[in-house]
Amino acid sequence: MRGLIAALVLVATPAWAEPVRIGSKNFTESYLLAEIAAQHLEARGVEVVRQFGLGGTKICYDALRASEIDLYPEYTGTIAAAILGDTTLTNIAPPLAEQGLATYAPPGFNNTYVLALRKALAESRGLTKISDLVGETGIDAALSHEFRARNDGWPALSAHYGLTLGSRGIEHGLAYEALASGGADLTDAYSTDGDLSRADLVLLDDDRAFFPRYDAVWLARTTLAPDVVAALSELEGRIDEATMQALNARAALDGEGIATVAASFLATSGLANANTPVPSQFWSRLAGNTARHIQLTLAALLLAGIVGVSLALVLQPFARAASGLLYVCGLLQTIPSIALLALMIPLVGIGVVPAVIALFLYALLPIVRATLTAINAIEPVYLTVADALGMTASERRRHVLVPLAMPHIIAGLRTAAVIAIGTATLAAFIGAGGLGQPIVTGLALNDTGLILEGAVPAALLAIVTDLVFDLLERRLVPPHLRSA
């Protein structure tokens, strides 16, 4: 299966030395650190593959363990709590070594959680540290979903300090706007967030030492080549908290590109040599993303068309089996796409293969349903004719069932194609690229232009696909049998 998909997608894999595959999560700082490492390694002559914007800690970590990426930027506190599941851990090296992983060359800053309070409220109530919140009421805490759920997050913090405040979840990128507009009072933040330097916020002092250290490190496979480790160590200690905050602000608030900010950091640090790579050009990036998007969709659709129509044809004579098939396809449809993608990682890793499998599974229902409905609706006289002409089961499928069901099959494929084009934008979360790449990056960087760079071509692609199916129907179905 995997080989078949890989062949269908025609992924070009270079034949020379293994490149270093760098991952990142889908927020500004992670992109920046990963890009800094990538440019620096490239400047040292190492070939790099960027697998940025992976959809969260679990996806990055699973990808690393499955050897789909070689390193990504992570934080010591996150490794202890979210990955190893033990917040009291003081030495994370031994359990990581068991997994064939290690941390390298801390860049030099601690991006811990902080609680940020609206300045006006803090001043009016005289709140400066977290313990001041004890017994306070009427403070609207809007916290990121991850912080509310983590072992070392809000519930543990409330218990540690004895807080009684309620909370609600909010997308982290929107929290600052909510606080600025007075829609909320309190949020969790990262101490290097670019917004912190500019918004009217007070950072509450962690006076009872609840938060562990979140020192940035490179979490990597121990198989990393010595020259790569050496190059990474040149970055060690180069980025303090103020520097990181400034870089984040430039990328997230001023809209400078990730590549530009990374390059200028390397240049001012005296690390980059002359041939710093220029950021990729708009049109070539667009063409690359669109081509990959079409590959993903087409491969999934082709597979789903072949498998879906065949299954429907073979199982249609058996009513129970046919309704069982519909049931299974319907069930697959109810799995949220991001969850399906995440479930795929331990089985087939990240990248194109799991994306195509997920898209394939989603495409099955419309195709199977259309085929079954169409065959069941065929007038009995044609089935009698097929019998009377002495057709075998396969002749009957080929000469009667499929041609008569064709208008509906094409309609099913059309629906599946439009769904697949939309869903394929999520493939970027697991490093499969496509038009979701600029959307995911744009969401992380709060860059509307970048979001449109993915969303507009995806919409156009859906329209073009619709037209292609019109042509296909014109070719395959005589005029009087076409669906309206």
Partner 1 sequence: MPLRHAVSTLTLTAMSDAAPTAQLEDVDVILGGNHILHRIRLTLPAGCVTAVIGASGSGKSTLLRLLNGLVTPQAGTVYRHGQPLTSERFRDVRRDTGYAMQQIGLLPHLSIADNIALPLRLAGRAPEAIADRVGALLDAMQLSPELAARYPAAASGGQQQRAGLARALALEPELLLLDEAFSGLDAITRLATHERFVALRGTEIKSALLVTHDLDEAARLADRLVILNAGRIVREGPRDDVLTDPRDPYAIELVEAFQCAD
Task: Note the residues at the interface with partner 1 (CB under 8 A).
Answer: 381-382, 384-385, 387-392, 395, 399-400, 403-404, 406, 477-478, 480-481
Please state the closest distance from residue 71 (CB atom) to partner 1, in A: 58
Angle between helices 319-334 and 282-315 (to 10 degrees): 150
Q: What is the distance between the alpha carbons of residues 147 and 150, in angstroms, rounded to a whole number?
A: 5
Among residues 393 and 464, whose Cβ is nearest to partner 1? 393
Among residues 277 and 403, whose Cβ is nearest to partner 1? 403
Among residues 330 and 478, whose Cβ is nearest to partner 1? 478
Please state the closest distance from residue 396 (CB atom) to partner 1, in A: 10
Please state the closest distance from residue 394 (CB atom) to partner 1, in A: 11
Backbone angles phi, psi at 48, to 5 degrees: -125, 140
Among residues 359 and 400, whose Cβ is nearest to partner 1? 400
Among residues 389 and 460, whose Cβ is nearest to partner 1? 389
DSSP E strand boundaries for 205-337: 216-221
Please state the closest distance from residue 377 (CB atom) to partner 1, in A: 13
Q: Strand 141-144: give its sheet, edge to edge.
A: 167-170, 141-144, 186-190, 113-118, 201-204
Among residues 229 and 391, whose Cβ is nearest to partner 1? 391
| C-alpha closest to that of 40 among 275, 280, 282 | 275
Angle between helices 2-9 and 352-376 (to 10 degrees): 100
Please state the closest distance from residue 477 (CB atom) to partner 1, in A: 7
| C-alpha closest to that of 432 among 172, 49, 136, 71 | 49
Please state the closest distance from residue 321 (CB atom) to partner 1, in A: 23
For residue 443, what are its two tokens? 């969401």
User: Contact, 231 vs 40, CB < 8 A?
Assistant: yes
Contacts of 402 (CB under 8 A, 6+ apart): 309, 313, 409
Q: What is the distance between the alpha carbons of residues 29 and 50, in angstroms, rounded to a whole number?
A: 15
Among residues 178 and 477, whose Cβ is nearest to partner 1? 477
Please state the closest distance from residue 413 (CB atom) to partner 1, in A: 18
